[in-house]
């Protein structure tokens, strides 16, 4: 078990900045996920922590010790990659034993640790089998098993589930989360899949263009996104965005000359520090809009573009003041293309972003 600290890390490849001054503190036993789109620098950050990449500047500390210039073998870490890197000529048992043999562990300890890992990963019956006869999910378990037998201070995992089909990914997601909690080993997990990050992480570090955008719990990044990038990246369907301004007398959200919405009493304090006369973006989650067929106070007219039935819920796609809005409804809610519906945005749960800086202005 260990803490991991990343301090002012910078890594360039020629003129391309892969990591732009990132600092992160990862607590002992924490499940930290690095999340972001392709090319945002998450793998490079992980590789610097592993010692596979040397940063241009900054420091990596494991348990308070500066390991920035130490080789991977001196860092007491274990990595699981997207490519399982399992030896095809060895049985599952031999694959699991390999990292322990490499450091001359006594035979009885090897047998005990291999059996323990196999039991935790439910692969006891596969110990005598060769990797060629394993399914993708079983191979992934073996790769994880090979990391856990060593009992390292830190696990580093780079997109370990991306070769699996959707159903197996969901299963393994839960298994890895449970395993991490049972073993209580500090873990850093890289993914571009926001659902994977939200469902597994204690904390998520969201990266974009080499820069850390926000570091918080899943509920922090979902309920209090720091900027427009985080707001749009987390959540499916994504947060709805509508350009607006706040009127000088602070009573209305102004979308255009002809379209405005009264600020609800419950949102007055939330919007109190947002400057008037600035270009803003109103951000609303699809579950924070309610729909009615008849008009009522605080409900605004909108037109149905299309309805997407998803079984457990429907997504109603609306057009309102020139913006497309997605609304999450019960599966029993039905509407037709072109129908006029009345919708109410729960402003007390909505966000306002500065359209120039992209930063959130509501807490
Ligand atoms: P992905 O999910 O596609 O792996 P990522 O977020 O992990 O993306 P990185 O692999 O860390 O991103 O890459 C960050 C940036 O650094 C990218 O622009 C990438 O092209 C560049 N990069 C990474 N490794 C190298 C390398 N060895 N040589 C040159 N450029 C590199």
Strands of the sheet with 77-80, listed across from one edge: 77-80, 154-158, 186-191, 31-35, 203-208, 211-216
The answer, yes or no, to whether any atom of ligand 1 lies below 6 A from the CB of 16, is yes
* pLDDT tens-digit series, residues 182-208: 999 999 999 999 999 999 999 999 999
> What per-residue confidence (pLDDT) applies to 151?
87
> What per-residue confidence (pLDDT) applies to 338?
97
> What per-residue confidence (pLDDT) applies to 272?
93
The percent of residues above 70 in pLDDT, for the chain, comes to 99
Of the candidates 202, 284, 305, the residue with the CA atom closest to the CA atom of residue 242: 284
The span from the CA of 164 to the CA of 145, in Å, is: 17
- Ligand 1 mutation pick, 10, 11, 18, max ligand atoms within 8 A of CB: 18
> What per-residue confidence (pLDDT) applies to 122?
87
Does residue 60 surpass a pLDDT of 90?
yes
Average pLDDT over residues 95-103: 91
Average pLDDT over residues 111-136: 90
Atom of ligand 1 nearest to the CA of 192: 2
Q: What is the mean pLDDT of the chain?
A: 94
Does residue 38 surpass a pLDDT of 90?
yes
Does residue 341 surpass a pLDDT of 90?
yes
Residue 85, sorted as left (phi over 0), alpha (psi -120 to 50) or beta, turns out to be left
Three-state DSSP class for residue 101: helix
How many whole angstroms from 146 Cα to the centroid of ligand 1?
Answer: 26
The answer, yes or no, to whether any atom of ligand 1 lies below 6 A from the CB of 191, is no
Does residue 353 surpass a pLDDT of 90?
yes
> What per-residue confidence (pLDDT) applies to 191?
96
Peptide bond into 198 cis (omega under 30): no
The answer, yes or no, to whether any atom of ligand 1 lies below 6 A from the CB of 37, is no
The answer, yes or no, to whether any atom of ligand 1 lies below 6 A from the CB of 40, is yes
How many whole angstroms from 40 Cα to the centroid of ligand 1?
Answer: 7
Does residue 48 surpass a pLDDT of 90?
yes
Give me the residue label for tokens 């039991």.
Answer: 119
* Closest protein CA for atom 21 of ligand 1: 18
Does residue 77 surpass a pLDDT of 90?
yes
Residue 60 β-bridge partners? 6
In this structure, the strands spanning 211-216 and 203-208 are: antiparallel
Of residues 234 and 135, more confidence is placed in: 234
- Out of 141-145, 285-289, 300-304, 345-349, pick the least confident: 141-145
Three-state DSSP class for residue 48: helix
> Domains (ranges, CATH) in the chain?
4-233 (3.40.50.300), 240-354 (2.40.50.140)
Of residues 189 and 160, more confidence is placed in: 189
> What per-residue confidence (pLDDT) applies to 112?
93
pTM score of the predicted model = 0.93
Does residue 105 surpass a pLDDT of 80?
yes
- Ligand 1 mutation pick, 11, 13, 192, max ligand atoms within 8 A of CB: 13
């Amino acid at each position: 078990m260990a803490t991991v600290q990343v301090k002012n890390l910078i890594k360039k490849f020629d003129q391309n900045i892969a990591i732009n001054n990132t600092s992160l503190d990862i607590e002992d036993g924490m499940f930290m996920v690095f999340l972001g789109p392709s090319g945002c620098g998450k793998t490079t950050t992980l590789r610097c922590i592993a010692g596979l990449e040397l940063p241009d500047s900054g420091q990596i500390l494991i348990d308070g010790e500066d390991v920035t210039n130490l080789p991977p073998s001196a860092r007491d870490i274990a990595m699981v990659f997207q490519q399982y890197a399992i030896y095809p000529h060895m049985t599952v048992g031999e694959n699991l034993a390999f990292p322990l043999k490499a450091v001359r562990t006594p035979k009885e300890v090897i047998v005990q640790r291999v059996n323990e890992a196999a039991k935790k990963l439910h692969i006891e019956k596969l110990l005598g089998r060769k990797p060629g006869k394993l399914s993708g999910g079983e191979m992934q378990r073996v790769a994880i098993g090979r990391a856990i037998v060593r009992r390292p201070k830190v696990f580093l995992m780079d997109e370990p589930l991306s070769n699996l089909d959707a159903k197996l990914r969901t299963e393994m997601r839960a298994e890895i989360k449970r395993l991490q909690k049972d073993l209580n080993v500090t873990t850093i997990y890289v993914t571009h899949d926001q659902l994977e990050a939200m469902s597994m992480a204690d904390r998520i570090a969201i990266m974009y263009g080499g820069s850390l955008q926000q570091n918080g719990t899943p509920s922090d990044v979902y309920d209090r996104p720091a900027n427009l990038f985080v707001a749009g990246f987390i959540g499916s369907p994504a947060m709805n965005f509508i350009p607006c301004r706040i009127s000088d007398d602070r009573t209305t959200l102004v979308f255009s000359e002809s379209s405005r919405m009264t600020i609800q009493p419950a949102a007055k304090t939330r919007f109190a520090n947002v400057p008037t006369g600035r270009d803003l973006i109103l951000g609303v989650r699809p579950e924070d809009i309610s729909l009615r067929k008849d008009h009522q106070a605080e409900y605004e007219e909108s037109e149905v573009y299309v309805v997407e039935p998803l079984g457990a819920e429907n997504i109603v796609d609306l057009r309102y003041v020139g913006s497309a809005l997605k609304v999450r409804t019960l599966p029993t809610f039905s509407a037709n293309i072109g129908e006029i519906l009345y919708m109410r945005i729960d402003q007390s749960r909505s966000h306002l972003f500065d359209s120039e800086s992209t930063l959130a202005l509501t807490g």
